[in-house]
Amino acid sequence: MKRKGNRGSIGEQKGFSSIGDILERFRTDEDKYISHEFQKYGYELAKELGDLKNKSLYIKLAKETSRGMLEEAKSFVKDAVNVRNRAALFLWKLTELKKLKTQKSKFKTKTKNLKQ
């Protein structure tokens, strides 16, 4: 059985780019290893806090912690004046917010059990 159709050359195929075009658009300085949104957020958070050596920590936090908590802790650090270590202040505030959240959830559970 013979195939019908025209195969054409590689340069004539639609939807493909030449290697030169791909290499021209490739930027090594931006988003080199980022493939998910939380990685970008964690990296930007580390950059804002001036703690790029621990960027993997912030990427992990961005993946596992709610965005609202992270934003609240970040805004707390931004509003603080005369801070020696912004990263430490951020992590402290984040743990305080997590403690507060667990206390609220325990309180809700206790009041729910008392009503029943």
DSSP string, 27-74: -SSSSSS--SHHHHHHHHHHHHHT-GGGHHHHHHHHHHS-HHHHHHHH
pLDDT attached to residue 34: 80
Residue 17: the pLDDT is: 72
pTM of the model: 0.66
Residues of 39-54 as b/e, b for ≥16 C-beta within 10 angstroms?
A: bebbbebbeebebeee
| Nearest residue to 38 via CA among 12, 54, 61 | 61
pLDDT on residue 110? 67
pLDDT averaged per 10 residues in sequence order, the chain, 116 residues: 51 65 66 83 94 96 95 95 95 96 80 68
pLDDT confidence of residue 21: 75
Q: Residue 33: its pLDDT value, please?
A: 74
**Residue 57 CA, distance from chain mean position:** 11
